[in-house]
Structure 1
Amino acid sequence: MKDYAEELLQHERSTIQVKPDDTVIITPHLQQLPNEILAHIIHYVPEPEHPYGPDRRIACEQLDLCECTLVNKQFYAIAYPLLWREPVLDRDPTQLQRMIDYLATTKEPPMGHYVRTLDLDNITCNDTELLRLMTHIPHLETLSLGNGNDDHLPPITSTSLQHLPHHCSHLTSLTLRRIHLSEATICAIGQHCHQLMELVFSITTGLQDDFLSALSNCPLKRIRICQTDERILTEKLVTDMTRFQDLTELNLSIFEPSGLIMKIANKKNNTEGVPCWPRLKVLKLRCCDDIDDATFICFIKTHPHLQLLRLVGANLTNASLDAMAVSLRGLRKIWFTRVHGITAGGVRRWIQNCQGLAFVMFRHCHQIVKRDILETCKDEPRGCLILKEQDIFKIRHDQETGNVHG
């Protein structure tokens, strides 16, 4: 029996033992995988399968990585830095304190040097803790920091935040929520964060219309500003915005007219002969009542790489849809809300001519009736239209076969 087992396992590194009762015990010795292959395997462990997106880890994924560190020394050496790459903090306000104490006492290797991504709020963090923490995480790249709605908790303020850029100068993405931003904080970001590509301000205060001029040394590619308390969309702000030639995403969810964005961009193109943002792919504007066909068509002609477009309240007609079919060949997704000048016939013609479309949503657009665009669709309220890829394919197929409704 032992000879038979040895023959079966001749290519394996295993120990074979035969007990007096003829029981055979085979103890396998796993061959060590190359570190490069094992690293690829372990990197799949924290891959998120939830709606927060690919850069947001959750607690159960953190626990899976912890389990990997317990397998053997090789797994530990590869999984441990990955575990620290994005620490996940729960609602326990003492957890961050314990983490900072550990970072402060661990010298070799310094675990804080592995940290690349953090999501903090004033439930888990205060100014004092943030000041202590930032000195231990010099290679931090992505930070989301904000205050919650609980007025009983002390807020995170610029008292600590203004020192962050000095200690974490490798930041590439910064999200600030419900934080009052002092001029010193903005200047510190511009002075030290020369790798900052993404900036997100959500429900912040203290912003002035010249804050972008202080960030001129940052290679910004994505700017998102949501619901500020001040009116900041001035000619000064938009002019400063045009300096960021590598901008790929502009998202302004603010309650003030956004037409100035396109008007200044068009003016610059007319006077200088170059588009403001030649790499712009995503444009989301909330208050577009001052954007008409002429302004919109002029803008998209000079920004042909747009892939995602969201406009609310724009005064557009079918002429703009026809222009999009010609100028925006790579357009993939579109959201139009309260755009009352477009008709079902114009939308159908546009879909048939815009070959890259994968998703279409119109909401509260008075002249839109979904059955006039796709006869086999389910009933939806007048003015609402949601089309996914299969719906868009059906509309194009009907056109090719001559089975066009309406």
Structure 2
Amino acid sequence: MIVSNVSLSGCADFNSALCAGAGEGHLGGGSYRTALTPTGNLVVAVCLGFIGTFGLINNLLVLVLFCRYKMLRSPINLLLMNISISDLLVCVLGTPFSFAASTQGRWLIGERGCVWYGFANSLCGIVSLISLAVLSYERYSTMMAPTEADSSNYRKISLGIIMSWAYSLIWTLPPLFGWSHYGPEGPGTTCSVDWTAKTANNISYIICLFIFCLIVPFLVIVFCYGKLLSAIRQVSGINASMSRKREQRVLFMVVIMVMCYLICWLPYGIMALLATFGPPGLVTPEASIIPSVLAKTSTVINPVIYVFMNKQFYRCFQALLQCEAPRRGSSLKSSSKVPTKAMRGIAGTGPRRTNEFLFMVASLGQPAATVPRLGLSCEPTIDITKAPSSDNKPVVVSLVAHRDG
């Protein structure tokens, strides 16, 4: 995880109060006191309790919906399940121990427990970040593909999920074998990578971790969603009012995704760099706990943004609460299956062909009904006599046949 850390190796120069307690725990294998006041520990405990409770509930609910409703078991939703599982593991393997440490004012599970905590939470946190990048790329590649996505093909998504875990292991195993190391961070209520050791070994690892586990996923997310938004903007040639509505909706979703990513993870990165390259004592224990808490809020925010703002999941959630079958709209195919080339039988190319393609792209986040393949004597037209409905139902595509000659 990327956050300012107070390690035993940097005790002499950083915070004597924390290091004295940490040294006792380190030498004796027991617990050590934190550097926060009782009030500070209480505030942190309340925040962690809120995050742990709602993160656990949100992610468990996502898994229940996925298991309960067969219609949700599409490739794109399988990737969302991977994000929820990694966030759920953080709520189970990390938050309870830091919450207990805050309530008691000391780390409770010793040095080995600290190393395990740092490794497990770093692993799950990076899996979540990489999965968000894979999700954005999958949406981009599906929308821009020349053929219709196959909703029964799980191979591509399965490879993406395996890659996210393997990639995370590549960057979280090295501290266990000597390339940097895990230890207490901030005021001593959590553990992570050592950000304060000024050795070449530690600095090289931190630079690589910052670039490949924070900056690269962020650039992938911005690029993919930026390309999709650019394509949707070009659909204005078909129906200006419909285009503006969809463009605003997608733009809102993209901005929310990017902003939440930055709010949760950018403070981690900034604090890590300040602790690594700044003078000793620049980052206080009180300040360093804030990025750690913000990063853990991603376990609460991710299910809300990527799942419950999805109409298909939301309708199933409503059905689960009301103990009834989902509404008919939720039975439509997943938005990952956008028939970008269902009209490949259409004659002619050029601007009109581009507009037809972009019209299908504009269905991002909206289930799209399968469009039958047409012969050369047919062409699609958009029914612009009806204003977009308030419940965001799929746009009607009317088909007009023309006789040759």
Q: TM-score higher than 0.5 here?
A: no
Higher relative contact order (CA 8 A, sep 6+): 2
TM range (shorter): under 0.3
Q: Which has the greater radius of gyration?
A: 1
TM-score (norm 1): 0.23
